[in-house]
Amino acid sequence: MGGTVALVDCNNFYASCERLFQPRLQGKPVVVLSNNDGCVIARSNEAKALGIVMGDAWHLRRAEFERWGVQVRSSNYTLYGDLSARVMRVLGDFTPDLEVYSIDEAFLGLDGFADPENHARALRESVGRRTGIPVCVGISTTKTLAKVANRTAKKDPYSGGVCYLPDEASQTAALGKMELGDVWGIGRRLAPRLAALGITCPLKLRDADPTRIRERFNVVLQRTVMELQGTPCLDLEQDSPDSKTICCSRSFGRAVEGFDELAEALTAYTSYAAQKMRAQGLATAAVVVMLTTNRHKPEDAQYYATRHVRLTIGTSDTARLIRAALWGLRGIYKQGFRYKKCGILLLDLHPAQDVQGSLFLRPDRPERSALMQAMDALNARYGRDRVRYACSGQDRPWKLRAEYLSQRYTTRWGELLHV
DNA sequence: TCTGGGGTCCTAGGACCC
DNA sequence: TCTGGGGTCCTAGGACCC
């Protein structure tokens, strides 16, 4: 009740970044392309006005772009990440409650500010002056409504880049100008399903019964409805939680058939993913390898596969992860397909300093009994809390024995080695 | 301690977001 | 020749374990 939350969103972020370093792009249509210069992933307002859409294939529209004088840039994520950090630092000067939501967006808690709208205008001016990146600010009582306000700020030429929706009347006016698919959380699939129930616009969604929405859809959509009604369901998450997964995947510039070439690519991706993981101080004990053919080529035989590889000991060591990844690749690789993309997903991430290793007890592993003996010894030395399996094993009847044999437990691997 | 039901893991896919 | 990459959450069936 009565909360005030703002959403700051950088305008056409990647295109704005490119402009910052090439001022001559000012006022011209700019697009930024994906990996391999495949398709459009960012557009300046001028490019949007030309009808260029997200995902437009560069190779199909190249001639048109040249005719229109569209400035085309390959993406440079290092640059964007750096500029993003600068923007976020400025935002941090304007509130203690900051949630960095994505590379170009942040939610700000503005509880206790007497005049949120003026505060937002000052913020917007400051970001522009100190970073050169233009932003828009939407303010309302929930995150979902702040998204609505932000969209209104972007669309309304008289907003000055800031839109404040403090009450139901202003929220109703803003929602009335939007399509269902513009609402945060309503995607391509959900919109038609809602329309089939007569919920054809954002206002009808807001006025729907949350309980019925939950029955017919799920709790996620129920929260969206309640947030539209002004009941906060999504908290500001200030301490960005550790990543749960880290992924690195790339499309190849051309089809790849041989195992060795795939292995080479996967090795590079794994090395990169491991680097990212270490930078966050995390370690993993399970990876997933992914391999797929080109789905845009129906004339090619299609194949898609993933393979989960579990490590006995958790690690952040690149060489060990590469071994695991290649093991997984060997398991799913089939000759005779034209592969377009492969990747690696690091799962089950946990802080590396807490677990120099993770211990996985599996009935089919020969080292099991040795590890269990070691854990018993640890248990005796440190007491029950230190080794979870021993707690359940000793305290509970035979039924739980199944659990500790198949469940995964973590402990301090370094200590274990010394038992 | 027990023979089948519950728990977990894996794979696959769907939906959303940026 | 040529159509991105990185996330989160949820669901479901089959295999497997005791």
With 0-12 CB in 10 A as exposed, 13-18 as middle and 19+ as buried, what is A369? Answer: exposed
Instruction: Return residues with beta carbons within 7 A of strand C.
Output: A 34-36, 38-39, 41, 54-55, 57, 59, 218-220, 243-251, 253-255, 276, 294, 296-297, 340-341, 343, 363-364, 401-402, 405-406
Angle among Cα A158, A164, A167 to the nearest 5 degrees reads 125
Nucleotide of closest approach to A304 (CA, C1'): B12
User: What pLDDT does residue A214 have?
Assistant: 82
- How far apart (Å, rounded) are the C-alpha atoms in residues A379 and A357? 17
- pLDDT digits 0-9 by tens, A348-400: 787 775 543 334 333 334 344 445 555 555 555 544 444 443 322 222 222 22
Residue of A337, A343, A338, A294 whose CA lies nearest to A38: A294
- pLDDT digits 0-9 by tens, A170-183: 999 999 999 999 99
User: What pLDDT does residue A374 have?
Assistant: 52
User: What one-character-per-residue DSSP string does A151-199 give?
Assistant: HHHHH-TTSTTEEE--SHHHHHHHHHTS-GGGSTT--TTHHHHHHHTT-
- How far apart (Å, rounded) are the C-alpha atoms in residues A276 and A411? 23
- pLDDT digits 0-9 by tens, A222-257: 889 999 999 998 888 887 777 888 999 999 988 899
Instruction: Find and give the residue nearest to B7, measured CA to C1'.
Output: A403
- pLDDT digits 0-9 by tens, A255-278: 899 999 999 999 999 999 999 998
Instruction: Return residues with beta carbons within 7 A of strand B.
Output: A 101-105, 147, 183-191, 286, 288, 304-308, 310, 397-398, 402-403, 406-408
User: What pLDDT does residue A2 have?
Assistant: 62
User: In degrees to the nearest 10, what's the CA dihedral of A48, A53, A58, A64?
Assistant: -50
- In one-letter notation, the amino acid at residue A225 is V
Choose between A294 and A360: higher pLDDT: A294
User: What pLDDT does residue A35 have?
Assistant: 84
Q: Which conformational region is residue A112 in: left (phi greater than 0), alpha (psi within -120 to 50 degrees), or beta?
A: left
User: What pLDDT does residue A1 have?
Assistant: 47
Count how many Cα atoms sit within 13 Å of the Cα of residue A65 in the half-sphere of its side chain: 23
- pLDDT digits 0-9 by tens, A114-166: 999 999 999 999 999 999 999 999 999 999 999 999 999 999 999 999 999 99
Whole-number average pLDDT of chain A: 83
Nucleotide of closest approach to A102 (CA, C1'): B18
- How far apart (Å, rounded) are the C-alpha atoms in residues A110 and A206? 24
CA of A374 to C1' of B18 (A): 46
What's the predicted TM-score (pTM) here?
Answer: 0.82
- pLDDT digits 0-9 by tens, A196-227: 889 999 999 999 998 888 888 888 888 899 99
> Does the pLDDT at position A401 exceed 50?
no
Identify the weakest region by mean pLDDT among A68-72, A280-284, A302-306: A280-284
Q: Are A238 and A97 in contact (CB under 8 A)?
A: yes
